[in-house]
Chain A
Amino acid sequence: MRVTFTVNGREQQADDVWEGESLLYVLRERMGLPGSKNACEQGECGSCTVRLDGVPVCACLVAAGQAEGREVVTVEGLAGDGLSAVQQAFVDAGAVQCGFCTPGLLVAADDLLERCPWPMSPSDADIREGLSGNLCRCTGYEKILDAVRLAAARRGEGA
């Protein structure tokens, strides 16, 4: 079948999609967007988190056909001219080690901060709750907390 949807603001099409293919497979293998990661493909690790019409979902659990006509934002769509605030904060805080969990965490953190508009800042408990669907095996999460705090604080700069 043919699937057409908007990815990071651009309409994309994939042909010959098998009905059982996930949104994750279509993004990674058919649309050349490997940023969303394939760590468990069971909806348990969050490494493939994308936003579907604004709502964070595990792309591995969404059948590609379900995305028809909808809007998808992946990690590749977070940066503008430069890195987004949350991307830059992950780099600066040392929250990236192997980095395999990072794309999913960034999409989840971006959503978390959007739901907590400046000058409000998410509490540590809010950050933990908001990112609890994203597994990281390298960092021990401390520097991920640092990164989200940093990104939240930086939203005020220049505002």
Chain B
Amino acid sequence: MSDVTRIPTSLTQGSQTAGGIGESKLRPDGTLKVTGEFAYSSDLWHEDMVWGHTLRSPYAHAEIVAVDTSAALAQAGVYAVLTYDDLPAAQKNYGLEIADTPALAAGRVRHHGEPVALVAADHPETARRAAAKIRIEWRELPLVTDEESALAPGAPVLHPDRADGHARHVPHPNIVHRQPVVRGDAAAAARRADHIVTGEYEFGMQDQAFLGPESGLAVPAEDGGVDLYVATQWLHADRRQIAPVLGLPEEKVRMTLSGVGGAFGGREDLSMQIHACLLALRTGKPVKMVYDRFESFFGHVHRHPARIRYEHGVTAEGRITHARCRIVLDGGAYASSTPAVVGNAASLSMGPYVVEDVEIEAVGLYTNNPPCGAMRGFGAVQACFAYEAQMDRLAAAVGMDPVAFRQLNAMSQGSRLPTGQQVDSPAPVAEILRRVQARPLPPERQWESAGGAADVRALPGGLSNTTHGEGVVRGVGYAVGIKNVGFSEGFDDFSTARVRLEAVGGEPVVTVHTAAAEVGQGGITVQAQIARTELGVARVVIAPADTRVGSAGSTSASRQTYMTGGAVRNACAAVREQVLALGRRKLGTYHPAWATAELLLEGGKVVTDGGEVLAALADVLDGEPAVDVELPFRHRPTEPFDIETGQGFGHVQYSFAAHRAVVEVDTELGLVKVVELACAQDVGKALNPLSVVGQIQGGTTQGLGVAVMEEIVVDPATGRVRNPSFTDYLIPTILDTPAIPVDVLELADPHAPYGLRGVGEASTLSATPAVLAAIRQATGLALTKAPVRPEHLTGT
């Protein structure tokens, strides 16, 4: 079936060969996005399509005693109602790292909002009303809500049948993963400390809150397979999880990326993919599913909330002697990517500082809270929030300036992480701190207009008109963080690109085909820039991402420019070699330089390294079949962390960002206005400076959000989510977000394509602790929890 309308189309750009790497080339999809023509996954439409809807559990932990779907099925306009018993294959679970998530609840639910049944109907409202008629008899089960209740003697074991072999390494079956990191002799080093500083911190559950809801269209195919158009971060990983649950071979699940309205990690796990396919295969009709915002809060994993305890020692001169830490991450009901999040939290828990003697333990728990998984910053965010608070306390203990203290202890190229891994590329930690500190501060009383009157819009509380400046105090805070780039711990991380060069209408045209998900970050822009740079061709077509080409891996871990960019470069290099060989065969007799000179492709021509033009590329290609190459790219191998000591070459690359936050606080009402949030980040090489700055500002804003407003609140008594809406889960508006000046450093990483560093995540780490530090400085309060709420500031 091919009569799907509003599906992704190829994007063509380029009339001149300018627009290679290093330039701020504009997005090829920009015009479609500003005219409303861009086909997001919720915009898909098909003749004769029906609507899918999910019935979700109102309980966090309960047994399903009986289900009666007859009333729902009897409703006019309903085509199918499916429950666990209708799953067609022996495989009924899926999961990124551990297949422990049921496609539909199997006799019991483990979290509020778990999918229980599916309905297909002729109108979304018909589907909703039919779902409400499904009668379920429940028996509530005791809740596991935190570390204490998860590990208590006699606690309900949430996954008794877990069979991945890891259980023997953890002290309790409700622990998904545990990663210690032990290096040196912390006890001995502690004796050299002049001060010991301990702290306990709490980090709330953040939501990715991408704007485009989970949605897509599943179209049943004549061969018994299914075509799925969907917004995701990794087409091939989706297919690997979907096909076995449908009972289909992977080649019968054909996937095409549909327009993605943001992701931030929240689309790395499946949401409606399997459900839409099940309904399409059952009804024989195309099925569209679109979550509303309420359902979206249940349809994707969140950032792991954390409880974190640190002990650092410091000498009177300000040198960190040792550290001990324990990080407890709540993974919720299913594993998702919790093991990798735990690995990140443990291995990056010392931050970008030299600490030789450490005892670290990070654990991820199974609970009846909402499942947690990937979100921008992935385990490094929670640790950074806590270790940066510790740095300020340590600096205070020895009477040092917080920035000078950090610079004194900062890692640099050649330093070792607590995992023993040497940092073998530039690590400008002290320098990025210097940059944000050197920036002029925004003017005092910035809310005061020329006549001396207050512009309330620039004050805490804003248009609520809660203060005219009285009771408002200012604070300045700093933070810096370290994030790994790419997939770690020995994962076979690769991306594939197919590049085709041909003459069309007498002009050379490059087509780049990958399965890399463009989620808004600008991956397709840099893919085209790389092709233009490598092949010297103006016209570059970006084909829709789908599973007809090899896997590109996930658009996450700041890896897509590195990995798919690397694959496009590899494929282009092979295309170039083939084209030059073709040119030598075809035209080599006309000029001796074909055989003797180093040849390049520039401006649509074959030129010698001396600049002599040998031929137009179109003439070389004329009458020939397209030159077409598909190649993978791998980053250098990493290795798993030792299960007891955490030692190992676990990460491929690091990314560093620093922030300075300036805040004003209304101490009477506990309201915060972030006045400025300046960032400096090293990106190795900015392939597209405009996009790089956009990524840094976006990440900074998400860090700001969790500092002062963002948190999914789970009722500890019932396990229910209390605020699944944009009314109650607050993300920063343009009024909440300050000026974000950005300083981009480009210190090349010798191991990476073009020397680049993954950009997307690092700024999210340090923004949160910088804002907290500024609020602490303004108020003198200890503030150990993010987000900071008014009651924390007023003591009410």
Contact = CB atoms under 8 A, between A and B. Distances in A.
A32 B44 CA distance: 10
A139 interface: yes
B612 interface: no
B264 A141 contact: no
B436 to A, nearest CB: 16
A100 interface: yes
A44 interface: yes
Contacts of A42: 293, 725-727
Nearest to B42: A38
25 contacts: A33-B36, A34-B6, A37-B211, A38-B42, A39-B213, A40-B293, A41-B292, A44-B293, A91-B26, A97-B520, A97-B698, A98-B261, A99-B30, A99-B261, A100-B261, A100-B520, A131-B734, A136-B211, A140-B696, A140-B697, A140-B699, A140-B700, A142-B697, A142-B737, A143-B694
A155 interface: no
Given A39-B261, A40-B726, A44-B725, A75 B733 contact: no
A36 B306 CA distance: 38
A115 interface: no
B6 A87 contact: no
B734 A144 contact: yes
B40 interface: yes
Contacts of A98: 210-212, 260-263, 519-520
A87 to B, nearest CB: 4
B124 to A, nearest CB: 8
Nearest to B51: A29
A98 B266 CA distance: 14
Interface stretch (B455-463, B544-552, B659-667): B455-463
Interface of A is mostly: loop
Contact of A40 (B455, B458, B693, B725): B725
B469 to A, nearest CB: 16
Given A39-B261, A141-B734, A106 B34 contact: yes
Interface residues of B, number: 64
B694 A135 contact: no
Contact of A39 (B6, B211, B455, B698): B211
Interface string B259-298: 1111110000000000000000000000000101100000
Contacts, number: 184
Interface of A: 18, 20-21, 28-29, 32-42, 44-45, 47, 74-76, 78-79, 83, 87-88, 90-92, 94, 96-103, 106, 125, 127-129, 131-145
Contacts of A142: 693, 697, 737, 739-740
B123 interface: yes
B293 A76 contact: no
A21 B125 CA distance: 9
Given A42-B727, A92-B26, 9 more contacts: A21-B125, A32-B45, A44-B726, A83-B31, A91-B30, A94-B694, A98-B262, A100-B261, A140-B700
Contacts of A134: 733-734
B701 interface: yes
A54 B631 CA distance: 53
Contacts of A44: 293, 725-727
Contact of B35 (A87, A100, A136): A87
Contacts of A144: 734
B521 interface: yes
B740 A37 contact: no
Interface string B504-530: 000000000000000111100000000
A142 to B, nearest CB: 5
Nearest to B742: A142
Contacts of A33: 36
B618 to A, nearest CB: 30
B26 A99 contact: no
Contacts of A47: 211
Contacts of B520: 97-100, 138
Given A94-B691, A100-B261, A75 B30 contact: no
B737 A140 contact: yes
Interface in B29-64: 29-31, 33-40, 42-43, 45
B690 A38 contact: no
Contacts of B208: 137
The interface centre, meaning the residue of A32, A36, A99 with most chain B CB atoms within 10 A of its CB, is: A99
B777 interface: no
A89 B26 CA distance: 12
B504 to A, nearest CB: 25
B24 A128 contact: no
A135 B26 contact: no
A139 B211 CA distance: 12
Nearest to B677: A140
A37 B261 contact: yes
B522 A91 contact: no
